[in-house]
A and B are shown apart, each in its own frame.
Chain A
Amino acid sequence: MNNLLIEKTQSTPTIQFDFLSNVLKISGESFPENTAKFYSPVLEWLREYIEQLDSATEVTMEFNIIYFNSSTSKIFMTIFDMLEGAVENGKKICVNWRCDEKNETAIECGEEFKEDLDVLPFNLIIEGDQ
């Protein structure tokens, strides 16, 4: 399976899904003109990736999103659903939701996503200025 790399643009985030290290990163801002179109290859890659995953492999999905629109939040919900399903099937996946301590909205949104989950480990990581 190939890695999935998408460079960021003004309205879309960087996607770095590394098949070998099993670290999947989404970072930046997300308010694509056509959210479904932008995320469709991302969701497709994830589906295939989860399918081939064995239960020994530890996967980390990193979110570092400064700003996202409502359609993106729907996509994220879909991603968390997929991951939650995979965890229920015995896969080892965790999510790190990283945000700056000053970005209260991103923190609160992280809390909302976390509350919606049952089995998927979701770590809210608040980072200060280094």
Chain B
Amino acid sequence: MNLYFKEDEVCKEAEKLLLDDIFSSPADKEHYLVLFKEYRKLLKQMRRMVKMSDLMQNELKILSHKLEQMSSIDSLTGLFNRRYFNEVYQKEWLSACRSQVSLAALMLDIDNFKKYNDTYGHLRGDKCLQAVAEAVRKAVKRPRDMVARYGGEEFVIILTETDASGAFYIAEQAQNNVRQLKIEHTASSFQIVSVSIGVAAMIPSSENHPEELLNMADEALYRSKSNGRSSISLHTKE
């Protein structure tokens, strides 16, 4: 379809009038011709302006998409960042409240990461973070679930419509994936890089605060750490 079919129709009509020579005097015809030429010129300009405007808008659209991505992604690991996690988590919490289904949170922390940095340096530390992030991400398969970098060497996973046992299974997957990386860590008693995980799940209600589930997962993570690390602990709401 021609975007300017109406304008083209007007031009055709004008050309026809000129051909039919319906004007009462040559001066009238001349005047009409001048106006018609001006109309065609302005029309041509408008077409260009619309084209330029489309170009600009397209560029802005691409830029805004890039910015949105940049503001939601952690640049080191490529996982979602905490800012974006908070946003999504609030939505998932409300959705679970409404539909009264279980929501699960996993807190993961790389064991003895400070020692790793001290032993191998910060560059290797960054590489280790990237590898662990990827291994953890692979444990989560459903598109609505989310893995984010929560802090320095801490990650968080949100699993929708998942109860404690389902969440525990994912935690095992994540832990295995990290073990299988077999990243050397001589300062750790396991000799390889490992993660401790805290798991929590609950069916939230409007009486609960969204922080509760995350605090529960955090408490469970603390227990895993106290249990000698490289373990998974479960916290369930009574």
Contacts and interface: CB of A to CB of B under 8 A. Distances in A.
B49 A67 contact: no
Interface of A: 67-70, 73-74, 77, 104-105, 108-109, 112-113, 115-116
Contacts of A77: 45, 48-49
B31 interface: no
B48 A116 contact: yes
B110 to A, nearest CB: 40
B33 interface: no
A73 B52 contact: yes
A116 B56 contact: no
A-B pairs, 5 with minimum CB distance: A70-B53, A109-B52, A112-B48, A105-B59, A77-B45
A116 B53 contact: no
B49 to A, nearest CB: 5
Interface residues of B, number: 10
A28 to B, nearest CB: 15
A51 B56 CA distance: 34
A109 B50 CA distance: 11
Contacts of B51: 112
Contacts of B49: 70, 73-74, 77
A83 B168 CA distance: 74
Main secondary structure of the interface of B (DSSP, over half): helix
Nearest to A78: B45
A42 B59 CA distance: 28
Contacts of B59: 104-105
Interface in B25-82: 44-45, 48-49, 51-53, 55-56, 59
Nearest to A103: B59
A108 B45 CA distance: 15
Contacts of B48: 73, 77, 112-113, 115-116
Nearest to A70: B53
A105 B56 CA distance: 7
Contacts of B56: 67-70, 105, 109
B233 to A, nearest CB: 52
Contacts of B52: 70, 73, 108-109, 112
Contacts of A67: 56
B104 to A, nearest CB: 46
Contacts of B45: 74, 77, 116
Given A77-B45, A108-B55, A116-B45, 6 more contacts: A67-B56, A69-B56, A70-B56, A73-B53, A105-B55, A109-B56
10 contacts: A67-B56, A69-B56, A70-B52, A73-B49, A73-B53, A74-B45, A77-B45, A104-B59, A109-B56, A112-B52
A109 B44 contact: no
Contacts of A113: 48
